[in-house]
Homo-oligomer: A and B are copies of this chain.
């Protein structure tokens, strides 16, 4: 068993061009039925406003697959701790023996989630998208813009957050980091109406974007909802989209924006919905013209976790990083 620390993982597994084909391959294999991915396991710790998710996926032909444990404890800020934590482990697909532990505290999840956003933008947003609206000002609001820069020539970011202070901090930091102009906007409507591409990154429990704000050519990636009670988009937006894409339809139907559209009956199981892997596999093309409105619903999949964990493992081994823990099987003397 080899163990990698957060520090090493952050230093050497970067959100860059290399990560895109890694995650694209994951979605392609998912679309081609080369992946076994059980439903997410979830434990709620209501007393502490906490939740722990377990995600996994076995990708045929790979040496190992990941099991990821990720937690969100939303009272942690009172203790000065981040809400998100967790780790990934890699299990041998030959023997079932755990091989590696990636103590990333959620970093690799940030990366693979942002890369999925970039992939959605690559296939679905207008190529000349310049103005990007960001709803929310947390960690993914940062990662999504970093990833988007890999596929689109972002000239301006418009950020809206319920907390103006957080939005201002975001704007200052992201401008310093990227050199891009970042403007704080005090209403979500103006952000959506003024942007070519909008990314929603909030834990909202009710829609923050209205259908009446949609305009020709807009692409929206909604990555905030990953639980039954979360929702960022009015369901009518999913109906009016010329192309609606999910990371996986099954999971979005349970946990994503799609869930609410199905629940309210504005969409049905017969509605035309595309999976991201059908785009990455080139089975389907994405955006067809400058006028289409496109929406991508991301809930986060185990196959992304396996892909990023394998990528990280190889990057670590290349650099001779990691700490071996001796754990020889010993005979029982009970």
Contacts and interface: CB of A to CB of B under 8 A. Distances in A.
A109 interface: no
A44 interface: yes
Nearest to A60: B47
A17 B146 CA distance: 57
Contacts of A154: none
A52 to B, nearest CB: 6
Number of copies of this kind of chain in the complex: 2
Interface string A42-84: 1111011011101011101000010101011100100101110
23 contacts: A6-B330, A14-B334, A36-B44, A41-B54, A43-B56, A43-B58, A44-B58, A45-B93, A45-B96, A48-B94, A48-B96, A54-B54, A54-B67, A67-B69, A69-B89, A76-B95, A76-B96, A82-B329, A83-B96, A85-B96, A103-B325, A146-B334, A323-B325
Interface string A318-334: 00000101111110111
Interface size class of A (residues with CB under 8 A): 35 or more
Contact of A7 (B58, B72, B330): B330
Interface string A20-53: 0000000000000000101101111101101110
A238 to B, nearest CB: 28
Interface of A: 1, 3, 5-7, 10-11, 14-15, 36, 38-39, 41-45, 47-48, 50-52, 54, 56-58, 60, 65, 67, 69, 71-73, 76, 79, 81-83, 85-87, 89, 91, 93-98, 101, 103, 105, 107, 143, 146, 323, 325-330, 332-334
